[in-house]
Structure 1
Amino acid sequence: MSVSKNLPVYKRIIQEGWRKAALKEFLSKYLERAGFHDVKLVETSLREIITIYVERPGIVIGKSGKLSKKLTDVLKERFGFENPYIRAEKVEEPFLSARIIAHFIASRIMRGEKHRRVAFMAI
């Protein structure tokens, strides 16, 4: 799924868009517990820098970086990255992210808390 350099510009832009959308969808499912917010992809000549914005970056990194190494291997395999470098950054204001708030509300309701109380806590 790597983006070919010899394609016309418009096809390369479309291919990069598809790749980023697929990456965002995959990471939102893979990092649901970490409070996934967004992903930023920067390609340099040496490596692809993937910045993942999450509520809890420790879950992305894991013990001794094991989960980030596993994620790196998965990204190489599924998305064709040659040398991905993963950076996990904390979201500055997590309660301004609709995705994080929706996950917060859903997890609290699934735990059995009352829906009105959860909604007022989220506001």
Structure 2
Amino acid sequence: MGNKTHPISFRLGIQHTWSAKWFSLGSFKDFLTEDIKIRKYLFNKLKRMGLSRVEIERSMKKTKISLYVSKPGLIIGRGGAGIDSLKNELAKLTKSEKIQLAVTEVKKPFLSAKIMAQEIAGQVERRVPEKRILKGTIEKIMEAGAVGAKVAISGRVGGQEIARTLYLAQGSVPLQNLSADIDFAEDTSNTKYGTLGIKVWINRGKKEIGKKGLKNKLASATKDTEK
């Protein structure tokens, strides 16, 4: 079997930026554990609110958590009550003295791979036929302005005894091209037959990466090869 490179990590520093922005020598293990707990809690709690991305920034005594969602009103609540409740829950997961929460609306949710993967998972759990889900998802993504898209559902699809993978793709999704803005996400759907894995790739078009970004990527690849 071939080794697959993650589309997001492959483009870090060129098309995508890091979702965790902090540095630590002595507390790296503790901060990493906190980040994992925070992300797991948020994606489970806000799964049906269109949570696309979570960014965590840390300073000496403050942790800033940025949420990118398609339905910010459901999170904020009346008079900001939802934000206050969420802050109190997150305070239990971190040792930071102060937590700052920022909510940003995703203008084009159909071009977010994570949101589309969550939507597919919800439809699978509601027993919508898988082929109809794939076709409908691809149509929504392409109508939103994507250059190409690919969707996969793996597992005991339709309750069959032998696991299989259903694929559907349209347009161009060049995973090896650094100038292509590829968004990728995975999710899991829990059914009575077991869990189904969901993967979504979206090509949002080409972006100029510039000589500096490409030079940094090549330098990093050279160092890894020398090691």
Same fold (TM over 0.5): yes
Please identify which structure carries the higher helix content: 1
Q: How many residues of Structure 1 are paired with residues of Structure 2 in the alignment?
A: 115
C-alpha RMSD of matched pairs (Å): 2.2
Indicate the structure (1 or 2) with the bigger Cα radius of gyration.
Answer: 2
Greater RCO (CA < 8 Å, at least 6 residues apart):
1
Post-superposition Cα deviations, 1:42-88, rounded to whole Å, max 9, x if no partner, equal 23456322101122111111121111100111111232332211111
1:122 aligns with 2:166: no
Match in the other structure for 1:4: none
Letter of the 1:28 partner, please give it: F
Post-superposition Cα deviations, 1:10-68, rounded to whole Å, max 9, x if no partner, equal x4233322221221111111111212222112234563221011221111111211111
1 CA distance for matches of 2:29 and 2:102? Answer: 25
1 CA distance for matches of 2:56 and 2:27? Answer: 15
Range with greater deviation from structure 2 (67-76 or 92-101): 92-101
Which of 86, 96, 107 is residue 122 of structure 2 equivalent to? Answer: 107
Give 3-state SS (helix, strand or coil) of 2:122's partner.
helix
1:42 aligns with 2:57: yes
1:90 aligns with 2:105: yes
8 Å CA contact 1:75–1:81 kept in 2: the answer is no
8 Å CA contact 2:70–2:105 kept in 1: the answer is yes
Letter of the 1:83 partner, please give it: K
8 Å CA contact 1:24–1:38 kept in 2: the answer is no
Match in the other structure for 2:31: 16
Range with greater deviation from structure 2 (32-41 or 22-31): 32-41
Match in the other structure for 2:95: 80
2 CA distance for matches of 1:87 and 1:60? Answer: 11
Give 3-state SS (helix, strand or coil) of 1:88's partner.
strand
TM-score by length of 1: 0.77
Letter of the 2:114 partner, please give it: R
Stretches of structure 1 that go unaligned for 5 or more consecutive residues are 1-7
Give 3-state SS (helix, strand or coil) of 2:134's partner.
helix
Letter of the 1:42 partner, please give it: E
Give 3-state SS (helix, strand or coil) of 1:81's partner.
coil
Give 3-state SS (helix, strand or coil) of 2:48's partner.
coil
Match in the other structure for 2:224: none
1 CA distance for matches of 2:132 and 2:112? Answer: 20
Match in the other structure for 1:53: 68
Which of 28, 43, 60 is residue 28 of structure 1 equivalent to? Answer: 43
